Structure 1
Amino acid sequence: MTSMNSPGESMVARAILDGENHILSADPPIELLHIRAGGGAHDRLAVAPIATIAQLARRLGIAVSRRVLVADDEGDLDLWVQARPETGQIRLSVSGWRDREAWKPRATPPDYAAAGADVWWETDAALRLIALSSGAGHGFDAQAMLGQPLHALFAFDTAAGGRLLADPAPLDGQGARLRPTDAPVRLSAAIRHDAMGGIAGLIGAAYLIDEVGDEIEAVSPGAPSLTESFTNGLDRALRTPLARIVANADSIAAQGDGPVAATYADYASDIAHAGRHLMGLVDNLVELQAIEQPDFRLASMPIDLADVARRAAGLLGVRAEAAGVTVRRPGATDMLDATGDFGRSLQILINLIGNALRYSPRGGEVMVTAEREGDWALVRVVDQGKGIAPEDQARIFEKFERVDPTEPGGNGLGLYIARRLARAMGGDLSVESVPGAGATFTFRLRAR
């Protein structure tokens, strides 16, 4: 990896693709994007906007340079991509690496609150609650509901709920029930747009129905919120159309089939980002269903946990540089023999180090250490963030739980999934923290 002198574009990552877009070599930042997009070691480049530019350069036989927005974890990256064809291969240079500013939830109620609403609420593009009025008298804890999906608060009938999940849309008198009390309500909501005109979520209100005989649409309160049939059906119903939407939108945004107006290219880019985020939510739900099965186990094989830790830290190098945080990782010659699954261990440590970077102050340091302690191989990730209160340290490992839901972040599933994976390998994941003094997350596996 080399550096450029221009401010804001100091990091240049490179990759070489073969004639079918398989990765022959790649710097860690591009490799991490590929992994996050669902790509494997021998797959075609899975980052659709970059792959589209590579394909265009190959077809035209000339170098192509474009600005793209790429979904990465819970945020977006603003990148400048150059693809240059060379004797059956494509050489990629990716620079920029600027985070697209995350939207923050409002601190005051929306206009619906002034219209006599009993409950007002706001969601992100994945229909997770990010703002909610007090639940006093309505049977729910507003703070505990933040970060959970909208259907955790309201029970819709199957048809309406399915339509809403697949395509966030305005609501006008939609019948539903308030899950905590089973009280009938009518919902109204408007689409909230981001700065680029894309769908960023819903702003809505719920009105309790008191009139005798006032009919609402049939619902099924109390149904399991996550079952194998539900996640399998969701996967089948959404993945193929979402993949087609993302691919076509990326092609339009990259102007692969000819120039289009800049406004329409931006709209197409927003459509692609929304599709990728929905696919990420589907992936999380499917994985959640799998790891919660009583017989879920992971294959155990010899791994070098120090090498996994080095690799995870290296893959997050661009994010660390952008955040102004130094990551200290195990030395190149350090080894820590353990028994576990390499891919899942890498997934856990990327999650832990990524969280540490998110909450570390600029100029801070994240320390990643690997050591043996008795029969255990331990990797510790230590940050200099604001720390976690004792009463929150157990809660952050639960589903859809976050310490501060108003901060930019994930969907509250990362640590829950990471701990389940660690325990499925015969290990564990724990945290120690003092408010104001950072946090230490410890990932342990059986030593070998």
Structure 2
Amino acid sequence: MRSDGTVLARATSDGEDRLIEADEPLAGLHLRCGGQLPGTIAVPELLELVRKARRFRFPLARAVSAHDGGDVITAWVEAQPSETGDGCDIRVRNWRSAPMPHEDSTASEARRATTDRQLAELTATLDAGQRLLAVETTSAELVALAGAMESGIGRVWTEFLPPENVAHQQPLHWRLLDGTRVIVPGSGRTFHVRLLPSMQPGFDPAGFELLLLSDQPPPLAPTAPGTALPSNRRGLVGQELAPVLRQPIARIIANAETIRTRMAGPLPDAYAGYASEIASAGKLLLDLLDDLSDLEVVEARDFQTAPDQIDLGEVSRQAAGILNVRAQERGITLIAPDAAQSLPAIAEFRRVLQILLNLIGNAIRYSPEGSRVWIRLEPAGPMARVVVADEGEGLSLEEQGRLFAKFERLGRKGDGGSGLGLFISRRLARAMGGELSVESAPGQGARFRLEVPADPDAG
């Protein structure tokens, strides 16, 4: 431990890491951070330093940082286990104050969106005209609302969530609706919506992600027996476990993201890294819950889809629009069918979109940076085909044979997948009277082919 330099302030702590007495400027910082004298040390990095020194009975020293209003304080602090008690003697030898650096608004908004996604009790995918494409909820209180929205796929979302104090009718610019309070029928809580656009700079949004949030906790009553969640979700995971587990896991993720991004105050890089790992593990758990819920659905004996007349070109463009931002982050170019291309089919729009999102998402995840992913339409006699092709490493014949197996990840580690996406996608394709297959070779990328019945009435 260094002993040079003037001691600017002294303090003492007890065996419970409470600050018993302190000189200025440490005492003032402790009080402004919400502490009391005597009281638990309120500066997080100082608390960690003192706790370790007391626990290991070994003197420690390090630079400690803290937010103090609009300034960042950096101080060199030494913690020496007391010879006469269970606490520590604390010495401050250096103290510097600097204005807090301006935070990039884009990064701040991205963090806010990440947190809101974890706390949302209902999410919906919208097209460029704010029309509903898919709806998902984990809240028993919102089951009826989600069911009504699912029945109204293709209609504007404000028909089901009317904004408060907005007299104008749709279409309204999405920025006027982002953050507005909405009326949720049958609920006594207040809700607001967030609209997250999928867009490239200089272009209009290709679609939106709608998040329904409330600052009030949901009711604790469990899902009523026999009540099925939207998307045919039922069974132990989908109906009972997922709604109970999702909210606390989402809170863990949101708190971890707050720590990781240092929104609650400065932290060493190591602690921010730990918080990042916690958030990633939480997201993995949420994704696994979703996949297990879908697995229950597609393996149920009475599972059925709701086929309708759809345009595979439109579904493909919607899927590409939703994932375009993720592709851009990896430098990957998505090439979707242009607006003039159409391929009529008989299938369930939402399920086809779910399959394409999985195929395109996998292509983005496993393709090299700077490569391309194509989404092509191909008539195939009585079938209508969508092909998702990439420039990835490709697959051997042995890997192709295992690819659609349950929980199969082909030995990949750390990519966050559950190994259920392709299994579920193939089951969905077959439930619609179609098929999902792959054509590939090592070093030549992969071509995933989704086939569903063509629309015989199309001209």
Using structure 2 for the length normalisation, give the TM-score: 0.47
Using structure 1 for the length normalisation, give the TM-score: 0.48
Q: Higher relative contact order at CA 8 Å, sep ≥6: structure 1 or structure 2?
A: 1
Bigger Rg, which one: 2
